[in-house]
Amino acid sequence: MLKKKSKYVIAVVGATGAVGNEMVEVLEEREFPVERLRLFASERSEGEAVRFGGSELPVETLKEDSFQGIDIALFSAGSELSRIWAPVAAKSGCVVVDNSSQWRMDAEVPLVVPEVNSSDLKRHKGIIANPNCSTIQMVIVLKPIHDAARIKRVVVTTFQSVSGTGKKAMDELLQQTRALLNFKEIKTDVYPHQIAFNCLPHIDKFLANDYTKEEMKIADETRKIMADYSIRITATAVRVPVFRGHSESLNIETEKKMTALEARAVLSAAPGVVVFDAPEKNVYPFAVGVAGKDDIYVGRIREDESIENGLNLWIVADNLRKGAALNAVQIAEKLLEMA
């Protein structure tokens, strides 16, 4: 477990990526008690610098002894790197908060969204998993509804921005958009098809059941975080030509009747949630409006008239912040509270 200190040595692994950069920014914005910040990335990034606290910090390459003296390491460098280096870091006495999918479904590793299941942090053994970005924004909204009316089934369709794939995908959307607007040929590299002015019902690899890995992550991770494996969940994940911010359409069936008015009240009182719902005034959340914000925004709250106990919701969040970097830093903040 983490030892109580006034300040801590923190590492960000994958510091030059979109989420890694956001982690550094969030640490500074939230005035995390950092004694020293160390930044790691691939050999290609060695020698680069990232700004923090008014200084330019060098980016290092990972070595066997890199985690000596580090208290908490925030990982955002992909599953393969986390598989290799997270155990090395934990063995060095460092607590790892990992943003990849590598450890999420490991029974020995807590999968945590602080507003939902922070108590699970007590059982960590050196590695804590940060959930999928789409899962995070969904469970924060589902939890208060589940507590009040018990959720039986969720049907979710996600509309996910290209930043969820990384900087290369953001560059590809920009380049394709420019090419199309100038009547030039487009190039596809990151995605199998054109993403500019298009929607791709394909995120991550297709599995034997014809769902994608992303769709199954959403279902499996949600049940683990909510600690209720009886909830039936089906997902369709769609990549959309938006740079930043994931949107989700949720259809929820509950055991107990919950009216739209009751849902608004319950969600208005939930931590990390902003109800932004006045359709008669064209007020509802959208990706451009939530970029750079920390909360989960909920709108289009209405009762599903096709079933007895059903709700429809539209939820939007900044996937690089609460969907990744902010949630990881909040986990670290909880660790400090528990020390």
pLDDT in tens, 123-173: 999 999 999 999 999 999 999 999 999 999 999 999 999 999 998 999 999
Whether the per-residue pLDDT at 210 is higher than 90: the answer is yes
What is the tens place of the pLDDT at every residue in 160-204?
999 999 989 999 999 999 999 999 999 999 999 999 999 999 999
Least confident of 10-19, 193-202, 309-318: 10-19
State pTM to two decimals: 0.95
The domains of the chain are located at 8-130+324-338, 135-319
pLDDT at 158: 98
In which residue are the tokens 């959340």 written?
Answer: 285
Q: Name the DSSP letter for residue 126.
A: S
Calpha distance 327→26 (Å, rounded): 10
Q: What is the mean pLDDT of residues 258-284?
A: 97
User: Which of 108, 98, 107 is CA-nearest to residue 129?
Assistant: 98
Whether the per-residue pLDDT at 72 is higher than 80: the answer is yes
Whether the per-residue pLDDT at 47 is higher than 80: the answer is no
Whether the per-residue pLDDT at 296 is higher than 90: the answer is yes
Phi, psi (5° rounding) for residue 224? -65, -45
Whether the per-residue pLDDT at 2 is higher than 90: the answer is no
CB atoms inside a 10 Å sphere around CB 197: 12
Question: And the tokens for 150?
Answer: 């018990």
Whether the per-residue pLDDT at 46 is higher than 80: the answer is no
pLDDT at 45: 76
Report the b/e string of 315-327 with b at 16+ CB within 10 A: bbbbbbbbbbbbb
Q: What is the mean pLDDT of residues 306-313?
A: 98
User: Which of 177, 161, 197, 148 is CA-nearest to residue 319?
Assistant: 161
Please indicate whether residue 133 is annotated as part of the active site.
Answer: yes
Whether the per-residue pLDDT at 246 is higher than 80: the answer is yes
Beta strands in 161-262 (DSSP E): 232-239, 246-254
Calpha distance 20→78 (Å, rounded): 11
Whether the per-residue pLDDT at 333 is higher than 80: the answer is yes
In which residue are the tokens 């690089």 written?
Answer: 320
pLDDT at 153: 98
Q: Decide if domain 8-130+324-338 falls under CATH 3.40.50.2300.
A: no
pLDDT at 191: 98
Q: Which helix (H) or strand (E) holds 102?
A: none
pLDDT at 216: 98
Strand partners for 98? 75, 129
Question: And the tokens for 49?
Answer: 């610098």
pLDDT at 226: 97
Calpha distance 121→109 (Å, rounded): 9
Question: And the tokens for 126?
Answer: 């050196």
Whether the per-residue pLDDT at 7 is higher than 90: the answer is yes
Please indicate whether residue 193 is annotated as part of the active site.
Answer: no
CB-CB contact of 98 with 296 (8 Å): no
Average pLDDT over the chain, rounded to an integer: 96
**CB burial of residue 48 (10 Å; 0-12, 13-18, 19+):** middle
What is the tens place of the pLDDT at every residue in 100-118?
999 999 999 999 999 999 9
Cα–Cα separations (whole angstroms), residue 43 to 46, 47, 233: 5, 9, 40
Q: Name the DSSP letter for residue 125.
A: S
Which of 133, 193, 199, 202 is flagged as catalytic? 133
Calpha distance 293→245 (Å, rounded): 10
Architecture of 135-319 per CATH?
Answer: 2-Layer Sandwich (3.30)
